[in-house]
């Protein structure tokens, strides 16, 4: 059962998929159509799941499910991954690439840095502890609202800012 994302309770389970590039308006419309249909038929062990999605910064697809009455099963989670892979294939844009680390620049533009380039970007000062990044591993709507966008120094990236003691 599809509902508005704003109506999902704060304890709703969420998954975040990061597009490898900015989605066009046409692509966003296709994603909206695909996910609205998918969510309207999404079930766990024969029971309808109440879910929603939102597209943020034209780069992130956030899928959410209300866990109050029905928990998503392994099979229903697998079906959501299959739906996102179908979207990925239909658009020709990666949604499962995890080596591109997203950052929010001034002006609201999302850029990505390849994981292999993080150390160099920190050493050159391009990335610092106050750089805003996205924690795509968060798993609840409450964390999405409060912890998703965070300072790099407060994430696993903090290890790159530690000074070695001589």
- Alpha-carbon gap, residue 110 to 112, rounded angstroms: 7
Domains contained in the chain, number: 2
* 83 and 10 in a common domain: yes
Instruction: For residue 64, give its domain range.
Output: 5-91
* 106 and 67 in a common domain: no
What is the SS3 assignment for 10?
coil
* 68 and 20 in a common domain: yes
Q: What is the DSSP letter of 6?
A: G
- Alpha-carbon gap, residue 120 to 154, rounded angstroms: 19
The answer to whether position 165 is within a domain reads no
The answer to whether position 166 is within a domain reads no
Strand ranges inside the chain, DSSP E: 13-18, 43-44, 47-48, 51-56, 60-65, 100-104, 110-114, 132-134, 149-151
To the question of pTM greater than 0.85 for the whole model, the response is yes
CB atoms within 10 A of CB 26: 9
pLDDT in tens, the chain (166 residues): 999 999 999 999 999 999 999 999 999 999 999 999 999 999 999 999 999 999 999 999 999 999 998 899 999 999 999 999 999 999 999 999 999 999 999 999 999 999 999 999 999 999 999 999 999 999 999 999 999 999 999 999 999 997 644 4
* 37 and 71 in a common domain: yes
Residue where a domain stops, chosen among 91, 116, 143: 91
- Alpha-carbon gap, residue 102 to 149, rounded angstroms: 10
- Alpha-carbon gap, residue 110 to 97, rounded angstroms: 15
């Amino acid at each position: 059962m599809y509902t508005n994302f704003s109506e999902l309770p704060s304890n709703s389970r969420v998954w975040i998929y990061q597009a490898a590039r900015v989605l066009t308006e046409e692509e966003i419309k296709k994603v909206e159509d695909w996910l609205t249909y998918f969510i309207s038929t999404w079930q766990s062990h024969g029971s309808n799941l109440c879910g929603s999605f939102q597209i943020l910064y034209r780069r992130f697809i956030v899928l959410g499910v209300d866990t109050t009455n029905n928990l998503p099963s392994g099979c229903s989670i697998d079906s959501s991954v299959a739906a996102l892979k179908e979207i990925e294939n239909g658009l020709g844009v990666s949604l499962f690439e995890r080596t591109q680390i997203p950052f929010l620049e001034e002006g609201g533009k999302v850029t990505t840095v390849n994981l292999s380039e993080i150390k160099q970007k920190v050493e050159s000062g391009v990335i610092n502890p106050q750089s805003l990044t996205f924690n795509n591993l968060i798993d609840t709507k409450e964390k999405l609202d409060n912890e998703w966008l965070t300072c790099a120094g407060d994430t696993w990236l903090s290890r790159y800012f530690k000074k070695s003691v001589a």
